[in-house]
């Protein structure tokens, strides 16, 4: 890329924290000062929030960059920190998980229940020959056993590799083979959109090509018939009959805790490797600081799937290490009806809700009448993660979910960072809609230009991290060179996140999407995110995706796909008028250079299973090419809808 990112969006609204939250916040502005004064001392204090079997000798060893070691010489057990210490402190009867199945069945697990199941699973895995350092693949629906399986691996020092339950047999095969997993933990199936959705046949297909797999543990969830082989064991016959006593052994702070494959849409997936002490320190601290979690009174709900890093860090390790009570939901937000999420908030009196912009925009499309039909008064804090949140989606979230008064934490991080890096602190920061604001205490982030020079306030460029952080990835599994190549080679000595970003006049950070998604129009770099936000700021638009299409005159031209809000008339003439109005609206908001060449009104957008827009496919449409690989799409019929609805728009 020739020039650092342009900086077009001018959003000036700002929302200070509610006074009561600020007065009682877990973390105050002092934390920034403390960390600035002595960064490693600050992280050592956060590590001290955990129970260590052996104290570390050195906070950080950065003598061989980019290979970091945190809390060198220290030892701890992650499962002990998430379970035993709460039970030992007399909190065994506290609810850890309110689980809600998609069909409406429920389970309540206390910390004592979760501890017992985890000990049994640890014994069962040991019995199956799993030893510290072995890899275990986990391919489960959103049921409590998913958390138990992860914690049981952590407890015995086995490295887990969770594979999202929506992935195909090929994807599962690649991941099992790359990590040479010895055991797979799965289920007969789960519930999805009102129907049982089988998992076991996919595992059977994968395992047939994975000689490393010795055993398959199968949870019975749907009760549907499954094929059975000599390697298969029912969970209820193996785990639930195992001894409930298990003493957790401590592991080295740098012991590999898990591998999680990033779902890259093009290249071979990367096995992101996380280790033990630093990872737990930062996930635990950020849960406490960013969500202001009060374990005694809060009911926390993160709507992510355990197959993504958000589920690892903010369903399993962060909340449980803090002794939280949380909600876990198996299904989709519109089964059996579009109010399901709000019904769950109402039912369990959820106080902290952590979800994704894609969901918020879907809720916008469905209309505010739906959340208005439920009592959401228990909520006190809202969070967002996964992609840039458009200012209008942020405002909608605050208005229609947050009663116009709740703080929103827009949290920037990645599978690679392991934990939240840039985010408002809810009791401190006056947040701006659409900005992740400030690096957390102890995190050193910056925006740099092409040459790696820090840009001044008002400038745009690339997001980097200047200093190692405790929960950073340690490498790409089996490929140190690719680790160096991918993250540490673009700018000498800096971690390159792959995201475009800008600093506003106050120095606050705005994420502009992946740099691969930046368009080059008549020599100007324009961020897809900014044009999308401009479109969504129009009252008729619920959601938008923007791509750069090859153009003979301008190099690339901006092509936009917009989903109109539920009640908007788009038939014939009205549709043409709306398109003209939207083009002008973008030109007015961002400047004439950002005016889309073409806008198409569409009913849906193609998304990956983690909810990210697949711009690659939209580019195919915009450039009249036949579609590339659609196998990672959440719903493959979407592209037919878009291609067939393409008549309107120019
Ligand atoms: C990429 C990482 C972080 C857990 C879920 C995604 C984008 C994530 C934000 C945010 C703007 C964001 C970035 C990042 N992203 N959060 N708050 N604002 N962009 O993990 O699949 O590893 O994706 O998601 O582009 O690099 P992931």
- Residues 650 and 600: their CA atoms lie apart, in Å, by 7
pLDDT of residue 582: 97
φ, ψ at 547 (rounded to 5°): -135, 160
Q: Which of 623, 617, 615, 564 is nearest to 597 (CA)?
A: 623
> What's the chain's average pLDDT?
93
Residue 632: the pLDDT is 64
Instruction: Give the range among 63-67, 567-571, 611-615, 626-630 with minimum mean pLDDT.
Output: 626-630
Predicted pLDDT at 633: 67
pLDDT for residue 267: 59
- For residue 436, give the ligand 1 atom closest to its CA: 17
Whether residue 411 has its Cβ less than 6 Å from ligand 1: yes
Alpha helices in 128-209 (DSSP H): 144-156, 169-179, 200-207
pLDDT of residue 524: 82
Please tell me the distance from the alpha carbon of residue 512 to that of residue 435, in angstroms, as a whole number. 10
pLDDT at residue 374 is higher than 80: yes
Ligand 1 neighbourhood includes 499 CB (under 6 angstroms)? yes
Mean pLDDT of 159-178: 93
CA of 199 to the centre of ligand 1 (A): 27
Most confident of 150-154, 524-528, 602-606: 150-154
Do 527 and 533 touch, CB atoms closer than 8 A?
Answer: no
Other CB atoms within 10 A of residue 189 CB: 23
In DSSP notation, 403-414 reads TTT--EEE-B--
Residue 475 predicted with pLDDT over 70 = yes
Read off the pLDDT band of 173 (50, 70, 90): very high
CA torsion, ordered 109, 110, 111, 115, to nearest 10 deg: -50
What confidence tens digit (pLDDT) does each residue in 249-289 have?
999 999 999 999 986 545 578 999 999 999 999 999 999 99
Residue 197's CB is within 10 A of a number of other CB atoms, namely 16
User: Out of 438-452, 600-614, 630-644, which region has the weakest mean confidence (pLDDT)?
Assistant: 630-644
Binding positions for CoA: 192-195, 310, 522
Query: Is residue 171 very low, low, confident or very high in pLDDT (cuts 50, 70, 90)?
Result: confident
> Can you give the pLDDT at residue 354?
98
527 Cβ inside 6 Å of ligand 1: no
Omega before residue 66 within 30° of 0, cis:
yes
Please state, in angstroms and rounded to a whole number, the distance separating the CA atoms of residues 588 and 520.
20
- Superfamily in which the 522-645 domain is placed by CATH: ANL, C-terminal domain (3.30.300.30)
Residue 392 has pLDDT above 70, yes or no: yes
Residue written as token pair 């494959």: 261
Six-digit token string for 156: 């015995």
When pLDDT is cut at 50, 70 and 90, the band that residue 405 belongs to is very high
> Ligand 1 centroid to 505 CA: how many Å?
23
Q: Ligand 1 centroid to 617 CA: how many Å?
A: 20
Distance set, CA 49 to CA 46, 93, 306, 407, 440 (Å) = 5, 22, 24, 26, 17
Residue to substitute in 273, 414, 421, 528 for testing ligand 1 pocket (most ligand atoms within 8 angstroms of CB): 414
pLDDT value of residue 2: 42
- Helix (H/G/I), strand (E/B), else coil: 321: helix
**pLDDT surpasses 90 at 383:** yes
Whether 196 has a pLDDT exceeding 80, the answer reads yes
pLDDT for the residue 265: 47
Percent of the chain with pLDDT over 90: 83
Q: What residues are paired with 551 via a beta bridge?
A: 555
pLDDT digits (tens, 9 = 90+) for 495-525: 999 999 999 999 999 999 888 888 888 878 8
Q: Give the Cα-Cα-Cα angle 171, 177, 179 (nearest 5 degrees).
A: 105
**Each residue of 95-145: pLDDT tens digit?**
999 999 999 999 999 999 999 999 999 999 999 999 999 999 999 999 999
3-state DSSP of 210-249: CCCCCEEEEECCCCCCCCCCCCEEEHHHHCCCCCCCCCCC
Which segments of 490-611 are extended strands (E)? 495-503, 509-514, 518-521, 524-527, 541-551, 555-564, 598-601
Residue nearest to atom 11 of ligand 1 (CA): 388
Predicted TM-score of the model (pTM): 0.92
Distance CA 286, CA 350 (A): 19
154 lines ligand 1 (CB under 6 A): no
Between CA 344 and CA 49 the distance in angstroms is: 31
For residues 449 and 616, the model is more confident at: 449
Q: Which residue's CA is the nearest one to ligand 1's atom 8?
A: 386
Cα–Cα dist 139/79, whole Å: 20
Give the tens place of pLDDT for each residue, 201-225: 999 999 999 999 999 999 999 999 9
Strands (E), 398-488: 408-410, 445-448, 460-465, 475-476
Interface predicted TM-score (ipTM) of this complex, two decimals: 0.98
Minimum CA distance residue for ligand 1 atom 17: 412
CA atoms within 13 A on the CB side of 17: 22
**Segment (H or E) for 396:** helix 391-396
Q: What is the pLDDT of residue 558?
A: 95
The Å distance, Cα 304 to ligand 1 centre, comes to 13
Detail the residues annotated as belonging to a binding site for ATP: 386-388, 410-415, 499, 514
- pLDDT value of residue 3: 57
């Amino acid at each position: 890329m020739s020039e650092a990112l342009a900086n077009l969006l001018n959003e000036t609204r700002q929302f200070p924290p509610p006074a009561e939250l600020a007065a009682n916040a877990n973390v105050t502005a002092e934390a920034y000062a403390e960390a600035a004064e002595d960064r490693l001392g600050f992280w050592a204090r956060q590590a001290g929030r955990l129970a260590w079997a052996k104290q570390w000798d050195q906070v950080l060893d950065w003598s061989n960059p980019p290979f970091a070691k945190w809390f060198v010489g220290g030892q701890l057990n992650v499962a002990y920190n998430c379970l035993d210490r709460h039970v030992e402190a007399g909190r065994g009867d506290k609810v850890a998980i309110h689980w809600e199945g998609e069909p409406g069945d429920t389970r309540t697990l206390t910390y004592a229940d979760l501890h017992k199941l985890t000990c049994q699973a640890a014994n069962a895995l040991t019995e199956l020959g799993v030893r510290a350092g072995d890899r275990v693949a986990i391919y489960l629906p959103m049921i409590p056993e998913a958390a138990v399986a992860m914690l049981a691996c952590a407890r015995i020092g086995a490295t887990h590799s969770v594979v999202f339950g929506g992935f195909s047999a090929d994807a599962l095969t690649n991941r099992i083979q790359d990590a040479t997993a010895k055991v797979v933990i799965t289920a007969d199936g789960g519930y999805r959109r009102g129907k049982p959705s089988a998992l076991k046949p996919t595992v059977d297909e994968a395992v047939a090509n994975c000689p490393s797999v010795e055993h398959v543990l199968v949870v019975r969830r749907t009760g549907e018939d499954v094929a059975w082989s000599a390697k298969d064991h029912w969970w209820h016959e193996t785990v639930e009959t195992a001894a409930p006593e298990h003493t957790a052994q401590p592991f080295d702070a740098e012991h590999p805790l898990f591998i999680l494959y990033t779902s890259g849409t093009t290249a071979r997936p990367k096995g992101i490797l996380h280790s033990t002490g630093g990872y737990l320190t930062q996930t635990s601290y950020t849960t406490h600081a960013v969500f202001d979690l009060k374990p005694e009174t809060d009911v926390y709900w993160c709507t992510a799937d355990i197959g993504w890093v958000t589920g690892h860090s903010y369903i399993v390790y962060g909340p449980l290490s803090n002794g939280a009570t949380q909600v876990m939901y198996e299904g989709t937000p519109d089964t059996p009806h579009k109010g399901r999420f709000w019904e769950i908030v109402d039912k369990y009196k959820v106080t902290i809700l952590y979800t994704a912009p894609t969901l918020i925009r879907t809720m916008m499309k469905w209309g505010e009448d739906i959340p208005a039909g439920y009592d959401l008064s228990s909520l006190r804090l809202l969070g967002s993660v996964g992609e840039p949140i458009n200012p209008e989606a942020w405002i909608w979230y605050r208005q229609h979910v947050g009663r116009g008064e709740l703080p929103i934490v827009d949290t920037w991080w990645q599978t690679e960072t392991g934990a939240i890096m840039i985010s408002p602190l809810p009791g401190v920061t006056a947040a701006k809609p659409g900005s992740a604001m400030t690096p957390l205490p102890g995190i050193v982030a910056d925006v740099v230009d092409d040459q790696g020079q820090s840009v001044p306030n008002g400038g745009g460029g690339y997001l980097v991290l200047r200093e190692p952080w405790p929960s950073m990835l340690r490498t790409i599994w089996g490929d140190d060179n690719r680790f160096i190549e991918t993250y540490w080679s673009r700018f000498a000595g800096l971690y390159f996140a792959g995201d475009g970003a800008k600093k506003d006049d106050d120095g606050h950070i705005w994420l502009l999407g992946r740099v691969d998604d930046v368009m080059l129009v008549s020599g100007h770099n324009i961020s897809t995110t900014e044009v999308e936000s401009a479109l969504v700021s129009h009252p008729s638009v619920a959601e938008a995706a923007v791509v750069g299409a090859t153009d003979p005159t301008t190099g690339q031209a901006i092509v936009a796909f917009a989903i109109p809000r539920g009640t908007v008339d788009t038939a014939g003439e009205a549709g043409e008028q709306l398109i003209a109005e939207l083009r002008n609206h973008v030109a007015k908001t961002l400047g004439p250079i950002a005016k889309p060449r073409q806008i198409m009104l569409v009913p849906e957008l193609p998304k990956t299973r983690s909810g990210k827009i697949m711009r690659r496919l939209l580019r195919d449409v915009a450039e009249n090419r036949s579609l590339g690989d659609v196998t990672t799409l959440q719903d493959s019929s979407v592209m037919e809808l878009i291609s067939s609805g393409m008549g309107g728009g120019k």
